[in-house]
Chain A
Amino acid sequence: MAKSNIAIELINVDKHFGAVHANDKVNLSVESGTIHGIVGENGAGKSTLMSILYGFYQADSGQIKVFDKDFRATSSRQSIEAGIGMVHQHFMLVDNFTVLENVILGSEGGALISQSLANARIELTRLAKEYGLEVELDIAVEELSVGMQQRVEILKGLYKGARVLILDEPTGVLTPQESDELFRIFDALKKQGVTIILITHKLREIMNITDHVSVMRAGKMVAHRETSKTNPEELAELMIGRKVLLNIEKSKAKSGKALLTAKNLEIYNEQGLKRVTEVSFEAHSGEILGIAGVTGNGQGSLLKALAGILPLSKGSIEIMGKTITPETHLNPKKLRELGVAHVPEDRQKMGMIADFSASETALLGYHNDKEINQGVWLKRSSVKANCESLMQAFDVRPNNPNLMSSNFSGGNQQKLILAREFERDPEVLIIGQPTRGVDIGAIEFIRKRIIEMRDAGKAIILISVELEEIMSLSDRIIVMCDGEITGTVDAKDANEATLGMMMANALQPQDEPKGAKL
C-alpha cells in the first residue's frame, strides 16, 4: 500500500475555553512537503488549533493524525517526538542562555550538558549550512535581533527532528527584509521535504508563498483552497464573512465642521514597533467616520494615540482648537476636559476594573469631577447617584451600582462604559469595537445610541473589525492595512468586496511590499 502523502490530519477537533468556543469541529489536512497557510482574523482560533497540535492545549474532542498515525499529545514532548516543531508568535527562548543552550533545552540527551552542547554544535553547523540558517552559537539570545531569534526558534525545531514546522504570525515582528529572508528559508526547508504550516492574517504572504490555504472564522474552518486557484478578494471575503445586517435606521448625515484633524500621523506601540505611518484624516461634527481593517493593522494604536494614551512620533492632531504634536502631548485627562470621550477596544483591560463595583467603574476617568471628588474623600452618594443615572440612561441590567463590574454580562458592561463616556456630553467620540462580545439586543441598542450622538452633532470615530458594523454605521469609511490608509470611501459607495480588497491592500497590485528588491 502506498504511503499517503498527508502529514497532518485533523478531524472534528473541538476546543472550548469556558464559554468561548475556540475551535468548532475543525477539519484540516496538510500535504507533506508543502507550505500550507491558515488565515483568519485575530481570535478566529488559528493559534489555539496549532497549540493543540503542538500539545500545549488538549482538544476536548476530535482526532488528530500525524503521518498517518493516531496522535494525542498531553504535553509538547509528544508533539516534538512525533516530528512537530512550532515557532510561536512570542518566542519561547531563555534570554540569558546562549543559542546553543536554548537549542538543547529539553533534548539534552545525557545528564551532563557538555556532551550535548558539543553534539549540538556539530549538528547546528550542519543545519545552518543546509538551510542557510547561519547564527552565532555562543552569543546570548537577548543580544540577537528579532529576526535572528526567530532563526534560533526554527533551528530549535529542526534540531529536535521536526518534519512539520508550524509558524505563528512569523512576519509580525520582522522588517520587510527579514521577512524576505524568512521566505527564502521556507523555500530551502520545503526543498528538503519539511512541511510548513504558516499562520497569518496577511493575505499577501499567503498568495506569495503557500501551496494551499485554509480559512478560519470564529472558530470554524470555513474553506480550503489551492492557493493558485484563489485570490485575495475571495480569501478576504471568507475571512470576514457575510453577516446578517442589523437593520438600523439612519438619516442622512448633516456633516458640519471638522472637529478633529489628523495630519501625517506616525505612531509606535508600547513595544516600540511602528504601527501607523502617514495617516491623515478629518472627523466632522454630525458624522461617523469608520476605520476598517483586519485586527493588528494599526487601528488599535491609532485609537490609543487619539485618546492620548500613545504619543505621536510624527504628525499632528488638531482637536477642538488644540494641537497635539510629538512635542506637545496631551494626556487622556486633558483630552477628556477638552470634550474627547474614549471607549477603549478592550473593555476588560482598559474600560473597566473587573473587581471594582459598577459605581466605581462608572466614574473611571471622571473621578476628579467636582461633584464626586471632595478633596480626600469621594462623595459616596454622588458616586452612587452618578452610576444610577447612567444605568437608567443606558438600561444597564441589573441596575445595581454595588455589583462587581465583572458580574455583569459583556453587553451590560459595555453599556455602562458607553453611558459613562456618552453622558458627559463630549464633542468628539473615539469608539473602539463597541459591540465586541455583546449580545444581539445590546448591539442594536448601542448602535442606535451611537447614531443619536451623531445626530446631536458630535464627531464620531469608530474603529471596528466588524465590517458589517462599519458599513451600517459609518458615513465615511477609511480602510487601514499595515499601518497605512489603503482606501477612503463614502459609505453609500462601499461594498464588502472592495473594502475586503482594501483591507488586504490588494487593490493596487503595482504597490510592491516595502523593502522588496528591485
Chain B
Amino acid sequence: MSDFFLTAVLTLDASVRVCVPLIFAAMAGLFAERSGVVDIGLEGKLLMSAFVAASAASVFGSPWLGLIAGMFASTVLAMIHGFASITYKGNQIVSGVAINILASGLTMILTLAWFKRGGITPTLQGDERFLSITLPGVDIIDHIPFLGVIYRELISGHNILVYLAFAIVPVVWWVVFRTRFGLQLRAVGENPKAVDTAGLSVEGLRYKALLIGGILCGIGGAYLSTAYNAQFTKEMTAGGGFIALAALIFGKWHPYRVLAACFLFAFLQALAIRLQGVIIPGIGEIPVQLIDATPYILTIILLAGFIGKAVPPKASAQPYIKEL
C-alpha cells in the first residue's frame, strides 16, 4: 500500500512542479484571448523570460532581480506582439509565430555573446535561485498517516513561485468576472465595436491585456530557469507555451477549468517521466511519446466536438478596424 501511495503522491508532487509554468502561461493567454488577441507567442515569451531571468540571476546573484528582468523581457515581446497586431492590425498568428522564432534564435545568440556558451547560462548556485520553503508544522503532521506524507511531499517544500501560481488563479477569476476591467476585457473579445461605441478604447484594453499577459508569462519563464531548474538550457520550455494554449482551449477560457486542464496535462507529463522504461505486464513498455502527445490529442478531440464544445471569444484573432 504505502509504496504505491508514496509513488502516487510523488507523481502528483512532480505534476505540481511541472504545472507552474503552464498555469502562468495559460493565465497570460487567457487575458490575451479574452481581449480578442490570439497569443501563440506564449512559448517564445516563456523562453525569453527563462533566459533573461537566469542571466540576470546569475549576474546579479539574486533570483528576484532575475524574476523582474524576466518579466520585463517577456513584456517587451508582448508589446511587440501588440504593436504588430493591435496598432498595425497585422495577423496575430504570424506575429506570435515570429515572436517564438525570435525568442528561440535570440536566446541562443545571447548565450554565446554574453556567456560564451552555446545555449546555456551559468548554473545558479545556492540562493541565486528560488529555494524550497518548508511550511510550518511539517514535523507535527508528519506523524499522521497519509495526511503527513501529503503535507510533507505535496503541499510543503515548494518554492514561492509555485504557491504564487496557485494563488493567482482565483485572482484572475476575480479580475475577469468581478471587476470593471474584466467586464470590459470580456466585452472587447466578444464585440469590440460595442466597446468602441460605449466610449472605451479597444486598443487600450487589448494592450492592457497583453501587458498583464507579458508579466505573467515572465513569471512562468523565470520559474523554469531560476526555480525548477538552476540554469537556462536551450529550448527548455519544450512546448510548454503550446501546452498552455491547449489547456486554455481545453479549459474553455475559464480560469478554474484552465487550471484543471494545466494540472491534467502536467500530470500526464509527470506520468510519462515516471513510466519511462516501466514494463506493464501484458502490455509491455508504454511508449512515452504517446503520453507526451496526450494533451494535444485531448485538445483535438475537444475541438472536434466530442467532449463539450470550446467556443472561443468571438472577436478572437480579428484586428479591430473601425468601420460602420
Q: Who on chain B is nearest to A89 by CB?
A: B324
A76/B186 contact (C-beta < 8 A), A95-B314, A111-B179, A113-B179 known: no
B198 within 8 A of A: yes
Contact B198 A106, beta carbon cutoff 8 Å: yes
Contact A113 B178, beta carbon cutoff 8 Å: yes
Contact A96 B201, beta carbon cutoff 8 Å: no
* Cα distance, A114 to B180, chains bound together (Å): 9
A2 within 8 A of B: no
* Chain B window 158-196, contacts with chain A (Cβ cutoff 8 Å), 1 for yes, 0 for no: 000000000000000000001111111011001101111
B284 within 8 A of A: no
Contact B179 A112, beta carbon cutoff 8 Å: yes
Within 8 Å by CB of B197, from A56, A78, A97, A112, lies: A56
| Residues in A neighbouring B200, C-beta threshold 8 A | 77, 105-106
Within 8 Å by CB of B322, from A56, A93, A96, lies: A56
A111/B181 contact (C-beta < 8 A), A94-B186, A95-B314 known: yes
A468 within 8 A of B: no
Q: Who on chain B is nearest to A78 by CB?
A: B199
* Cα distance, A114 to B195, chains bound together (Å): 19
Interface residues of B in 266-324 (CB under 8 A from A): 314, 322, 324
A466 within 8 A of B: no
Contact A56 B184, beta carbon cutoff 8 Å: no
Contact B324 A48, beta carbon cutoff 8 Å: yes
A187 within 8 A of B: no
Within 8 Å by CB of B180, from A86, A93, A108, lies: A108
| Residues in A neighbouring B184, C-beta threshold 8 A | 105-106
* Chain A window 34-74, contacts with chain B (Cβ cutoff 8 Å), 1 for yes, 0 for no: 00000000000001100100111100000000000000000
Contact B199 A77, beta carbon cutoff 8 Å: yes
A105/B194 contact (C-beta < 8 A), A56-B322, A97-B186, A112-B178 known: yes
Contact A94 B199, beta carbon cutoff 8 Å: no
| Residues in A neighbouring B183, C-beta threshold 8 A | 101, 104-105, 108, 113
* Cα distance, A193 to B107, chains bound together (Å): 66
A107/B198 contact (C-beta < 8 A), A94-B190, A97-B187 known: yes
Least CB distance, B315 to chain A, in whole angstroms: 10
Contact B191 A93, beta carbon cutoff 8 Å: yes
* Chain A window 94-134, contacts with chain B (Cβ cutoff 8 Å), 1 for yes, 0 for no: 11110001101111101111101000000000000000000
Least CB distance, A115 to chain B, in whole angstroms: 10
| Residues in B neighbouring A274, C-beta threshold 8 A | none
A93/B178 contact (C-beta < 8 A), A48-B324, A77-B200, A105-B184 known: no
| Residues in B neighbouring A78, C-beta threshold 8 A | 199
A504 within 8 A of B: no
Q: Who on chain A is nearest to B184 by CB?
A: A105
Least CB distance, A274 to chain B, in whole angstroms: 24
Interface centre among A86, A92, A97, A106 (most CB of B within 10 A): A106
* Cα distance, A322 to B200, chains bound together (Å): 56
| Residues in A neighbouring B322, C-beta threshold 8 A | 56-57
Contact A54 B178, beta carbon cutoff 8 Å: no
Query: How many chain B residues touch A (Cβ–Cβ < 8 Å)?
Result: 23
* Cα distance, A79 to B197, chains bound together (Å): 10
A94/B191 contact (C-beta < 8 A), A101-B183, A113-B183 known: yes
Contact A114 B187, beta carbon cutoff 8 Å: no
Least CB distance, A162 to chain B, in whole angstroms: 12
* Cα distance, A56 to B202, chains bound together (Å): 13
A392 within 8 A of B: no
| Residues in B neighbouring A93, C-beta threshold 8 A | 191, 194
Contact B191 A76, beta carbon cutoff 8 Å: no
| Residues in A neighbouring B182, C-beta threshold 8 A | 113
Q: Who on chain B is nearest to A47 by CB?
A: B324
| Residues in B neighbouring A79, C-beta threshold 8 A | 199
| Residues in B neighbouring A105, C-beta threshold 8 A | 183-184, 187, 194-195, 198, 200
A76/B178 contact (C-beta < 8 A), A94-B190, A97-B187, A97-B190 known: no
| Residues in B neighbouring A108, C-beta threshold 8 A | 180, 183
A92/B194 contact (C-beta < 8 A), A47-B324, A48-B324, A56-B322 known: yes
* Cα distance, A230 to B102, chains bound together (Å): 68
| Residues in A neighbouring B201, C-beta threshold 8 A | 75
A80 within 8 A of B: yes
Contact B190 A95, beta carbon cutoff 8 Å: yes
Least CB distance, B159 to chain A, in whole angstroms: 32
Contact A92 B198, beta carbon cutoff 8 Å: yes
A447 within 8 A of B: no
Least CB distance, A86 to chain B, in whole angstroms: 7
* Chain B window 103-144, contacts with chain A (Cβ cutoff 8 Å), 1 for yes, 0 for no: 000000000000000000000000000000000000000000
Q: Who on chain B is nearest to A107 by CB?
A: B198
| Residues in A neighbouring B178, C-beta threshold 8 A | 112-114
* Chain A window 334-359, contacts with chain B (Cβ cutoff 8 Å), 1 for yes, 0 for no: 00000000000000000000000000
Contact B196 A76, beta carbon cutoff 8 Å: yes
Least CB distance, A493 to chain B, in whole angstroms: 39
Contact A112 B180, beta carbon cutoff 8 Å: yes
Q: Who on chain A is nearest to B197 by CB?
A: A92
A190 within 8 A of B: no
Within 8 Å by CB of B193, from A92, A96, A111, lies: A92
Q: Who on chain A is nearest to B181 by CB?
A: A111
Q: Who on chain A is nearest to B199 by CB?
A: A77
Least CB distance, B116 to chain A, in whole angstroms: 49
* Cα distance, A502 to B322, chains bound together (Å): 37
Other 6 A-B pairs with CB < 8 A, given A77-B200, A92-B193, A97-B187: A76-B198, A89-B324, A106-B200, A113-B182, A114-B178, A116-B180
Using CB atoms and an 8 Å cutoff, list the residues of chain A in contact with chain B: 47-48, 51, 54-57, 75-81, 86, 88-89, 92-97, 101-102, 104-108, 110-114, 116
30 contacts between A and B (CB under 8 A): A48-B324, A51-B324, A54-B197, A55-B199, A56-B196, A56-B322, A75-B196, A76-B196, A76-B197, A76-B198, A78-B199, A79-B199, A80-B198, A80-B199, A88-B197, A88-B324, A92-B191, A92-B194, A92-B197, A97-B186, A97-B190, A101-B183, A105-B198, A105-B200, A106-B184, A110-B180, A111-B180, A113-B180, A113-B182, A113-B183
Give the top 9 A-B pairs by smallest Cβ distance, nearest first: A106-B198, A77-B199, A92-B194, A76-B199, A108-B180, A92-B197, A94-B190, A94-B187, A94-B191
Using CB atoms and an 8 Å cutoff, list the residues of chain B in contact with chain A: 178-184, 186-187, 190-191, 193-201, 314, 322, 324
